Amino acid sequence: MEKLKKVLPPVTLIAVLLAVWWVIVVRTGSLIFPTPSKVVAGALELIGDGTLFAHIGASLMRVAIGFLLATAVALPIGLWMGRVPIVYATLNPLFQILRPISPIAWIPIAILWLGVGDASPIFLIFISSVFPIIVQTASGVHSIEPRYLQAAENLGVSRSKLYLKVVWPAVLPQVIVGMRISLGVAWLVVVAAEMIALRSGLGYMIIDARNAGNRYDLVVSGMIVIGLIGLLLDALMRRLEGLRSVRWHYAR
């Protein structure tokens, strides 16, 4: 019963929106914009010929590579910045300058440097993902109670154990928050990059459907698939936030 109470409101809202969508299209007599049933038919068409899953796989592959590279680079830099004041004072202004630049603005430079291919969107995903994780990790280190670090140092804990046993568990909640933000931005960026510089992926699929005879049923199908995958990725990160090893640090 409790689950039903949580599920019913969003399901009802979606049903109402679908009904409004259908009524507007029918009442206006639009010859271009599709009804929900046509969008479903278009999605089934893409599933039937295997096109949809091929494009989903291409997009997810690029996001996975770029996001994992960003995480591998951002975590040690964020920990270093958090623990060494001079490093933070040196690097933080640079990162704060680069962080607000829209990843879309990097597209011409990515194409110039890396050409038209998988390397360009992976670079864009890396750029969009690395800064939130760095900032959140450094912030997490700064939020650690100094007495815990001092106690560990007074007990003669080595630097490596200090990072593994004290610093890392304390910053993990902040790290997960940064990763969640970065993953959402990465998914947005890969779709935008695929619309411009590639011939595969969900972004390319939408542009190709638009250019190939105004197939707006396929365009909307692609948009809905993008939203659903984004929801799934966010749900996975929320599950990660809910792990006991992470959740203990959160205020309840």
27 pLDDT above the threshold of 50: yes
Query: With b meaning 16 or more CB within 10 Å and e meaning fewer, what string describes 215-242?
Result: bbbbbbbbeebbeebeeebeeebeeebe
- Burial bucket for residue 113 (CB in 10 Å: 0-12, 13-18, 19+): exposed
Question: How far, in whole angstroms, is CA 198 from its chain's centroid?
Answer: 19
**Mean pLDDT of the residues in the chain:** 86
What does the alpha-carbon distance between residue 76 and residue 83 come to, in Å, rounded to a whole number?
11
Are 166 and 157 within 8 A, CB to CB?
A: yes
- Based on C-alpha coordinates, what's the Rg of the chain? 22
What is the C-alpha separation between 136 and 181, in angstroms, rounded?
10
CA 41 vs. chain centroid, Å, equals: 28
> Which residue's entry shows tokens 């699929």?
205
Q: Give tens-digit pLDDT for 55-103.
A: 999 999 999 999 999 999 999 999 999 888 999 999 999 999 998 898 8
Q: What is the CATH number of domain 33-247?
A: 1.10.3720.10
pLDDT value of residue 250: 39
What's phi and psi for 215, nearest 5 deg?
A: -80, 75
pLDDT-derived band at 129, boundaries 50, 70, 90: very high
Q: For position 131, what pLDDT does the model report?
A: 93
